[in-house]
Amino acid sequence: MKTQGQAPLWEALLNYRRQRLNSWHTPGHKDGAYTWPSWRQALGEETLGLDLTEVPGLDNLACPGGAIRAAQEKAAAFYGAARTFFLVNGASSGLMAVILAVCRPGDEVILPRYAHRSVFNGLILSGARPVYMETEWLASPGIPLGVTPAVLARTLKAHPRARLLLLVHPTYEGIVPHSRELIALAHDHGLVVLVDAAHGAHFGLDPMLPPSPLALGGDYVVQSTHKTMGALTQAAMLHLREAGTGDAIAAALNLLQTTSPSYLLLASLDVARLQAEERGRRDWGRTVARALRLREKLAAAGIPCLAPADVTGPAASGLDVTRLLLPAAPFGVSGPEIAAFLRRAGQEIELAGPDYILLIITPGDGGAKINSLLKALLALPRVAGRVPPEANGKAGASPGPWTVPPRQVLTPREAWLAPRREIPLKEGEGRICAELIAPCPPGLALVVPGEVLTEEVIARLVCLRGPEGKVLVVDE
C-alpha cells in the first residue's frame, strides 16, 4: 500500500488538493465555484475544494485498497480490532449492516427494548425476530438502567437457538451494563455479540471512563465517532473483533451506504483517530477531571447529577462521568423548561427529557466554557412546591416499563411489508402495529412493527399523538 503516513487519508486528500487540477467530474459545485455566495463564504474555498470524490489517489470506500484502507487499518490497530470500516451514515448504518449480515428471516435477536431505532430498522431489513430482555429502569428520572446477567441467562435458556445479542454500551445517558459478563454468557451459548457503543467512542481513553467494548470481547462494535470525538456529524466506525466475516459486512454496508461518500466525513474519521492516538489520554484525562470538578461544584450548590453510585448494581456496572444528567425535580420545572432557560443564558443542551436534562462534555469544552455553564446552572430558578407540567404533554408517552409487555405477533419485517392502513388511535386496540413509533427525545421504541396495540399502548400513544391521533396498522 502506498500511503502510510500518520493520517493516510487526510494526507492523500491534502496532496490531491495541492495539485489544483481542473475538475471535470463531480461534485458539481466545482471546488465551490458554483454555489450560493453566502454558503461559499461561510464554508470557505478550502473546505469546498476538499469536498472531493473518488479521483485517482483517493481510493474507494466500497472496495478500499489505498488511502481509505490504510486509514481504516490504522483505526483498527488503535482500537484493537481485526478490521475497521468507516461509516458515512452514522452508527445507524453499522448497526443495520451487522444485523443484515448476521441474521436471516426468523433468526432471533436478543436485545433490550431501549435499543436505538436503527436496530429495529435492521430487524425490518433482515427479517429477524426480536426477543426482549427485561430491563431495569430508574423510576425518577425515567431512564433505562440495563439488563442483569441473570435475565440474559434466563432469556438464553428460553431461546436456545438465538443468533445475535445486541448490547447498548452505554445508553444515551452514559450508563454501561455488565458487558463483560453478558458477552461471555452469550458466547458460551454460541451467539454473535453486537455492541452499540454509539455514545462510547471515547471509552478506554481514561481509567475513569468505562472500558472500550472491544476490550470486553464484543464481536462487532459500532461507535459514533462524531458524537464524542472530533469527527464530523454522520462519521462513525464499525470494528470487527475477527476478520472472518469482513466480506459479508462489507457487502451489507455496500447495500446500505451511498456510492458517493463524503471525503470530508471520511478524512474526519482519520484525523479523529490520529488525535485519539496522539493526545487522547491527555485530552480525556483533563476532560474527566473537569467533569468531576463540575459535578462537585453542582453537588455543593444542591444541584444533584446522576452519579455512578445511583446506577451501579445488578443491571449496570457504571456511568460515563462526562455525561451530565440533571433531574428536573429539584427545580420544580420540567426538562424542556430548564432547556429554555439555559438557552436564554447562551447554553444549548443535548437533550431535554420530560423530567431531566442531559449534557455532553468533551475535550472541546474548555475551563471558561464549563464555568459559564456552571454560572447558568447556579442561576436556574427554583419553583418551590410546584409540580412540573408534563413536557409538551408527552411525559405519559414513556417507552417503559410496561405493566404487560407488548406482544409481537409478526416480525417487524412481516408487519412492514404487509398491506397497511392508517386508522384512528381509538379504534386501534387489538390491531397489529405496522410502524415503528420511537418518540424523540430520546428516540426509544414505544411500539415496534408487528406488535399488538393494547389498551396500555394506546393510552401512551394518545399522550403522544393526542386523542384524535392516528396509527398505521396491518390491514387484516
Ligand X SMILES: Cc1ncc(COP(=O)(O)O)c(C=O)c1O
Residue number, 425 or 444, with CB nearest to ligand X: 444
Quick one: 92 or 148, whose CB is closer to ligand X? 92
CA–CA gap between residue 410 and residue 408 (Å, rounded): 6
Q: CB nearer to ligand X: give 128 or 176.
A: 176
> Contact at 8 Å (CB) between 193 and 187?
yes
3-class SS of residue 352: strand
**Least separation in angstroms between CB 351 and ligand X:** 9
The continuous run of DSSP H or E covering 125 comes out as helix 117-126
Shortest Cβ distance from residue 226 to ligand X (Å)?
A: 6
Grouping H, G, I as helix, E, B as strand and the rest as coil, residue 194 is strand
**CA separation for the pair 97, 83 (Å, rounded):** 15
- Residues binding ligand X (CB under 6 A): 90-92, 116, 118, 168, 172, 196, 198-199, 224, 236
Nearer to ligand X, 95 or 267 (CB): 95
**350: its cell numbers:** 443535548
Which is closer to ligand X, CB of 224 or CB of 398?
224
In the bound complex, what is the minimum distance in angstroms from residue 169's beta carbon to ligand X? 9
CB of 442 to ligand X, least distance (A): 7
The helix/strand/coil state of 55 is coil
The alpha-helical segments, DSSP class H, found in 189-346 are 225-228, 246-256, 263-300, 308-311, 335-344
Q: Which three cell numbers stand for residue 359?
A: 449534557
Q: Are 133 and 110 in contact (CB under 8 A)?
A: yes
Give the shortest CB-171-to-ligand X separation in angstroms: 7
The least CB distance from residue 111 to ligand X, in Å, is 12
Q: What's the length of the chain?
A: 476
Locate 85 and state its grid cell.
470500516
Least separation in angstroms between residue 375's CB and ligand X is: 29
Cβ closest to ligand X, residue 81 vs residue 452: 81
Name the DSSP letter for residue 70: H
H-state helical runs in 189-259 = 225-228, 246-256
By beta carbon distance, the residue nearest ligand X is 90
Q: Which is nearer to ligand X, 93 or 287 (CB)?
A: 93
Which of 15, 29, 5, 93 minimizes the C-alpha distance to 273? 5
